[in-house]
Amino acid sequence: MKRWPMTTDLFASAWNAQLDRFISWKPQPNAWRVNALASNWSNLQGYAFPPFSLIMDCLYKIRQERTSIVFVCPIWPSQPWYPLLLELTCDVPLVLPQSQNLLQSAQGLAHPLVAAKSIWLAAWRLSGTATSAKVFRTKWSDFCWEDSVPLHSLHTNPPGSLGVIGVFDSILIPCQAL
């Protein structure tokens, strides 16, 4: 993704790494490091698509280390980590198009949620530096949504259009469909 710089895939293996430099869960050939959660993210231009069970841990780490990374995760407003995700957002999230090969096992099988078309993923630019996220939200606090975006049905917006992915501190957080 050329929109945001990335040099290190934080949760990868040799078969699914999105970048040349990657951190694996366990020792693997060509892995730059092992165990992303034990590594320091402060000076990385990181890309993270963590296992869903580690999303909250990752968000805490981003905040604690005051780092900025590209983060891919489901759009799940009912999850306890979702408000923190919105709080750390520092650029318009990109909603990824649904595709059968979006989430695959090592055997090439589609994830059951993808097969059922019941999951939407988004790429987020997140920052643990409070000022970065606040500047982003301030930009949108005065935006006139009524004239530009129907506030319903984020998943049916045409590619490139703005939608709303959530609300943080009474400010609508926009998203863009790819």
**pLDDT digit string (tens) for 20-65?**
999 999 999 899 999 999 999 998 999 999 999 999 999 999 999 9
Q: Is the dihedral of CA 72, 78, 84, 86 positive or negative?
A: positive
Residue 162 located in a structural domain: no
Question: Which tokens sit at 76?
Answer: 């799940």
Residue pair 95/154 in contact by the 8 Å Cβ criterion: yes
The per-residue pLDDT of the chain, averaged, comes to 86
Residue 85 located in a structural domain: yes
* Residue numbers in the chain where pLDDT is lower than 70: 1, 106, 116, 142-161
Residue 169 located in a structural domain: no
- Judged on CB neighbours under 10 Å (0-12, 13-18, 19+), 4 is middle
The predicted model scores a pTM of 0.85
Count other C-beta atoms under 10 Å from residue 93's C-beta.
Answer: 24
- Number of structural domains the chain divides into: 1
Sheet containing 121-127: order of strands: 33-34, 21-24, 8-12, 46-48, 68-74, 121-127, 94-95, 171-177, 162-168
Q: Is 148 helix (H, G, I), strand (E, B) or coil?
A: coil
- Residue-range definition of the domain harbouring residue 73: 8-100+110-129
Residues 6+ apart with CB under 8 A from 38: none
